[in-house]
Structure formats: C-alpha cells, structure tokens
C-alpha cells in the first residue's frame, strides 16, 4: 500500500524555475524528491544500468587525476563530449572471500547483488530490482530490460533465487510493447479508461484469488517460486490499474515512429551498435512518456561475443589470445572493442540528453550506472571493475568527477545508488562485500 511521503510538498530544486507545489493526490507516492514544473506536473527521477562486457585496459582507461576535470586516457576519449555529465569510479573491488572466480560471471553478479556467487546465477536481488521496488510501482512497466546483442538471457537483473528478468531483443517487439494498442498518450486531450484493460484486470484478480489454496499445498522451495509468480501477477495488475487513471501531461513525450526492420540477430559489432542506437531511442522515449522509471540495458554480454565483420575471432577470444604488443604495451585488437563500447555509452548518454525536460534534460533527471564484469579480461580480474555514472538524478548526485575507491568493496556502488534513489538501506552486501559506506564524493 502506498504511504504518504514525509514531504507532501515538492521542493523546487533547480535554478529557481521549478516551484514548490502541492502534490495532486495521485502523486503522493512520488517520494517527494522530484522537481516540479510550473504546470504542477512533477518530473520523475529515473534509474538505470548500462552494462558492457570484458572491461577495459586499465592503463588506457583509468584517469590519473582524481576529482573534477579528470584526464581522458585513450579508451575513455569517446566520452569526451559528455565528460561533465559522467563520473568515473575506479578501484572498487569485488571481494570473493575464497569463492571461485567464475569467469565473466562473478564480477557482474557480485556488483549487482552484493553477494559473490557460487554458481553463475543471481544469489540475491540485484540493486536495480530493489530500486524498482521503491520507484517502479507507479508506471506501466516496473522496469525494462534490453539486450543490444539480441539475447534474452543477457541480463543481470532479477530477484535472486533463480529469477532473471529477460531482456527485450527486438526493436519492433519493444516498440509494440511500449507504444502498441495499450499505450495511453499522456498528452492526449481526451482520456477514457480502456474497457479492455478493466477486463484484463479482473482476469488477473481472479487468478490472484487462487494464491492461498495453492500455497497451502507446496513445500518451502516451491512456495518461493509461487510467490515470485504471484508477485509478477500483482505487479501486472497494479500497472493495469494505473492505466485506468488519466496520466499527467509530459512535455518530452512524443510517440516515436515504428523502427525500421531489425538488424540480423548476430554478434557482429556493426549490427549491435545499430540495434543499441534504436533501442536507446525507444527506451528514452519510454522514460520521457513515464512508461517506466527503471531500466537495464546491456550493450554486449559478459565474455563479449562481439565480432568484427570478416574476422574469425571474437572480442572474448581476443582478450585471451591476443598478445600484449611488446611495443605498444597493450592488446591492439581488444582495445578497439573497448573503444566501441565506450562510444556506445556516449551514444546512450547523448540520447538521454536530447530530451528536454523542465529546464534540463531527461539525463539530468536520471541516474545511469554503467559497469562491466571484469577489469582486465585477459586474467578475469575482478579488482577495480570499471564503473561510470551519468546523469544527476534530479540534482541528487554530482557529475564530472573521478573517484578512486582505494580497493574498497564494489558494493559501495549498489549501496550509494539505492540510497540516492530513496531505498531505506544503511548497509548492503555479504561477507567481504558488506559495506555501510556510500560513495559520499558523488552525493549532493
């Protein structure tokens, strides 16, 4: 059940253009953190992750200067135009506590769930799910997951215990899901509750009524799985309920054109870049139209299967098999892929920055966590996993900084972003990954 926020008046936060307004009743769940437009419609703060596989070449990526106006080594240069909107986090370690390092799995799973895994599965909820529990219940989709390599299992988001939020793989399906028949245009003048949605809701309520009888018949392990089923059902039902209310108008929301025919489902980097661009556009529009407030976009997979047209060897194979060039001091072919990943992140940041919202942009009202699953892929190292933050979360974080973690647990990232997004948590992670120290350098 929705609780009234302590602050029932929104605080005008930025540049004086925003004004304090009384929350409309429907918006009392907005957590009181948002900026409000002069029209009275609050601008939601969004949260998302952006994943790339196979890390970086530390010497060519990690800035030497700590703090503001950090330097841009070669692999970071693609983000140069957005440097003031991006923070770099280096030196944050995944601590395995003697558990085996599962290549290309341990790092990403531990960062997301706060637990070093024993098998390549999420042992606990990923922080994006915990954040969605806090801010995702008031939109049509609790969260959206996307794989630019078009692989539904390319996802690090889930509730743990074997549950994984599968990724959207096709731009056309993604478009239909977002802007198909059931999309309610927030800027449309006439609103009538859709009777189909009312009917759907009653169908789901009916199934929910079976919960008790079924749960009485299962063992503990299956009860957990049944709970996950009914949680999913309840979420869908709540989201349907939202669609029966007239949405607030949103200036940045425009219904996009249906994307062109999709790229072939392969790992050729040219196709993945193209697919990522299309998906990023659709996602940004979904955010601008308040269809979701949480997302997880995966540019490539851990153990990146990306290939270059005509090459017989994948990014992943290269990181292991390519010699470190004696003269250059790095792996020239592997670093090429890292640069493409950084470019893609630049494209994503740029896309969010294109949507005007209030006196800023969609990016200003979003917090994006970008990370990989390893630092140096050649040795699968999980110390100093590269992390970037973009966007200001509606003014709650500082950007344009390089923060050195000094070998502290990488779970500080998860703790920090949960706190920024309003999750009431003061410590997070298990064993050596337990921490109660958020990354205060980036918090306003």
Partner 1 sequence: MSSPHGRRRTAASLAIAGVLAGLLGCSTPRDVAGPNLVAAAQAPGRITAMRRLTEAQYRNAIADIFGTDVKVGGRFDPIVRPEHELIATGAAESTISPAGFEQFDSMARTIAAQVLDEQRRGAFLTCQPADATQADPACARSFFQQIGLYVFRRPLTAAELDFYVDVAGRGAEPTRDFYKGVELGLASMLVSPQFLYQLETAADDGRQIDSWSKASRLSFLIWNSVPDRMLLTAAARGELDTEKGVQAQVARMLASPKAEEGVRAFFTDFLHLDRVSNLSKDTVVYNRFTPAAAADLKEQMLLTVVDHVLTQDKPYPELFTTRKTFLNRRLGLMYQTPVAKAEGWEPHELPANDERAGILGQGAFLALFSHEGRSSPTLRGRAIREVLLCQPVPNPPANVDFSGFNDTSNAVLKTSRQRLDRHNTDPVCASCHKITDPLGLPLERFDGVGAFRTTENGAPIDASGAFEGKSFDGAAALGYLMSQSKGPTDCLAKRVAEYSTGLTEDKLPKGWLEELGQRFEAGGFKYRALLEKVALSPEFFALPEVAEPAAKVAALSSPATPTQGIR
Contacting residue, 14, 72, 172, 226, with partner 1 by CB under 8 A: 226
Q: How far apart are CA 364 and CA 353, in angstroms?
A: 8
Shortest distance, CB of residue 45 to partner 1, whole angstroms?
Answer: 21
Q: Which helix (H) or strand (E) holds 276?
A: helix 269-288
156 is a contact residue toward partner 1 (CB under 8 A): yes
Cα radius of gyration rounded to whole Å, the chain: 22
Q: Quick one: which segment of 158-166, 338-346, 362-370, 434-442 binds partner 1 (CB under 8 A)?
A: 158-166
Cβ proximity to partner 1: between 2 and 216 the closer is 216
Shortest distance, CB of residue 15 to partner 1, whole angstroms?
Answer: 37
Task: Give the contacts of 3 (CB within 8 A, at least 6 positions apart).
Answer: 29
3-class DSSP state for residue 379? helix
Cβ proximity to partner 1: between 154 and 416 the closer is 154
Cβ proximity to partner 1: between 8 and 379 the closer is 379
Shortest distance, CB of residue 246 to partner 1, whole angstroms?
Answer: 20
166 is a contact residue toward partner 1 (CB under 8 A): yes
Contacting residue, 4, 68, 80, 203, with partner 1 by CB under 8 A: 203
Shortest distance, CB of residue 345 to partner 1, whole angstroms?
Answer: 20
235 is a contact residue toward partner 1 (CB under 8 A): yes
Cβ proximity to partner 1: between 289 and 403 the closer is 289
314 is a contact residue toward partner 1 (CB under 8 A): yes
Shortest distance, CB of residue 431 to partner 1, whole angstroms?
Answer: 18
Q: Which of residues 123-152 bind partner 1 (CB under 8 A)?
A: 123, 142-143, 145, 149, 151-152
323 is a contact residue toward partner 1 (CB under 8 A): yes
Shortest distance, CB of residue 380 to partner 1, whole angstroms?
Answer: 4
Angle between helices 171-179 and 269-288 (to 10 degrees): 10
267 is a contact residue toward partner 1 (CB under 8 A): yes
Q: Quick one: which segment of 17-25, 282-290, 374-382, 406-414 binds partner 1 (CB under 8 A)?
A: 374-382
Cβ proximity to partner 1: between 28 and 244 the closer is 244
Contacting residue, 15, 173, 188, 354, with partner 1 by CB under 8 A: 173
Tokens of 440: 């205060």
311 is a contact residue toward partner 1 (CB under 8 A): yes
Q: How far apart are CA 417 and CA 216, in angstroms?
A: 38
Tokens of 430: 């298990």
Cβ proximity to partner 1: between 166 and 432 the closer is 166
Q: How far apart are CA 128 and CA 146, in angstroms?
A: 14
Q: How far apart are CA 411 and CA 216, in angstroms?
A: 37
What is the SS3 assignment for 193-256? CCHHHHHHHHHHHHHHCCHHHHHCCCCHHHHHHHHHHHHHHHHHHHHHHHHCCCCCCCCCCCCC
232 is a contact residue toward partner 1 (CB under 8 A): yes
Q: Which of residues 237-266 bind partner 1 (CB under 8 A)?
A: 264-266
Q: Quick one: which segment of 206-214, 281-289, 402-410, 421-429 binds partner 1 (CB under 8 A)?
A: 206-214
Q: How many CA atoms, within 13 angstroms, populate the side-chain half-sphere of residue 372?
A: 30
How many residues interact with partner 1 (rule CB under 8 A)? 90
Contacting residue, 80, 313, 427, 444, with partner 1 by CB under 8 A: 313
328 is a contact residue toward partner 1 (CB under 8 A): no
317 is a contact residue toward partner 1 (CB under 8 A): yes
Tokens of 442: 């980036």
194 is a contact residue toward partner 1 (CB under 8 A): no
Residues paired with residue 89 on neighbouring β-strands, in sequence order: 387, 403
What's CA 299's distance to the chain center, in Å? 11
Please classify residue 230 by burial: count the beta carbons closer than 10 Å to its beta carbon, then call 0-12 exposed, 13-18 middle and 19+ buried: middle
412 is a contact residue toward partner 1 (CB under 8 A): no
Task: Kindly report the number of other CB atoms within 10 A of residue 324's CB atom.
Answer: 12
Task: Give the contacts of 326 (CB within 8 A, at least 6 positions apart).
Answer: none
Q: Cβ(425)–Cβ(132) under 8 Å?
A: no
Shortest distance, CB of residue 355 to partner 1, whole angstroms?
Answer: 24
């Amino acid at each position: 059940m929705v609780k009234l926020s302590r602050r029932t008046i929104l605080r005008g936060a930025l540049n004086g253009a925003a004004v304090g307004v009384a929350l409309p009743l429907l918006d009392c769940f907005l957590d009181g953190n948002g900026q409000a437009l002069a029209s009275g419609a609050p601008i939601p703060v969004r949260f998302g992750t952006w994943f790339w596989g196979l890390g970086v070449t530390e010497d060519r990526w990690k800035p030497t200067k700590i703090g503001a106006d950090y330097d841009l080594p070669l692999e970071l240069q693609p983000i140069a135009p957005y440097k003031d909107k991006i923070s770099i986090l280096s030196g944050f370690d995944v601590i395995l506590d003697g558990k085996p390092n599962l290549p290309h799995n341990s790092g990403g799973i531990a960062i997301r769930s706060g637990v070093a895994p024993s098998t390549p599965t999420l042992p606990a909820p990923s922080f994006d799910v915990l954040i969605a529990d806090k801010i995702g219940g008031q939109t049509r989709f609790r969260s959206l997951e996307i794989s630019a390599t078009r692989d539904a299992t390319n996802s690090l988001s889930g509730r743990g215990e074997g549950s994984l939020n599968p990724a959207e793989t096709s731009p056309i399906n993604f478009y239909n899901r977002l802007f198909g028949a059931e999309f309610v245009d927030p800027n449309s003048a006439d609103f009538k509750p859709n009777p189909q949605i009312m009917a759907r809701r009653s169908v789901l309520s009916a199934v929910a009524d079976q919960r008790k009888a079924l749960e009485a018949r299962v063992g503990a392990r299956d009860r957990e799985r049944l709970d996950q089923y009914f949680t999913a059902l309840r979420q869908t039902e709540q989201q349907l309920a939202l669609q029966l209310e007239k949405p607030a108008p949103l200036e940045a929301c425009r219904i996009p054109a249906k994307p062109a025919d999709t790229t072939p489902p392969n790992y050729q980097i040219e196709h993945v870049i193209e697919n990522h661009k299309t998906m990023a556009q659709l996602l940004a529009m979904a955010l601008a139209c308040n269809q979701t407030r949480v997302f997880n976009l995966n540019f490539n997979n851990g153990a990146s299967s990306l290939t270059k047209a005509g090459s017989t060897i994948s990014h992943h194979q290269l990181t292991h098999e390519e010699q470190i060039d004696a003269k250059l001091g790095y792996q020239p072919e592997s670093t090429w892929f890292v640069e493409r990943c950084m470019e893609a992140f630049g494209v994503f940041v740029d896309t969010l920055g294109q949507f005007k919202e209030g006196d800023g942009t969609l990016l200003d009202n979003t917090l994006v966590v970008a990370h990989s699953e390893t630092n140096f892929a050649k040795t699968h190292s999980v110390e100093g996993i590269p992390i970037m933050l973009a966007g200001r979360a509606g003014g709650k974080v500082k950007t344009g900084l390089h923060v050195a973690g000094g070998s502290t647990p990488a779970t500080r990232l998860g703790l920090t972003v949960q706190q920024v997004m309003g999750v009431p948590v003061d410590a997070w992670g298990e064993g050596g990954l337990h921490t109660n120290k958020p990354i205060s350098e980036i918090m306003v």
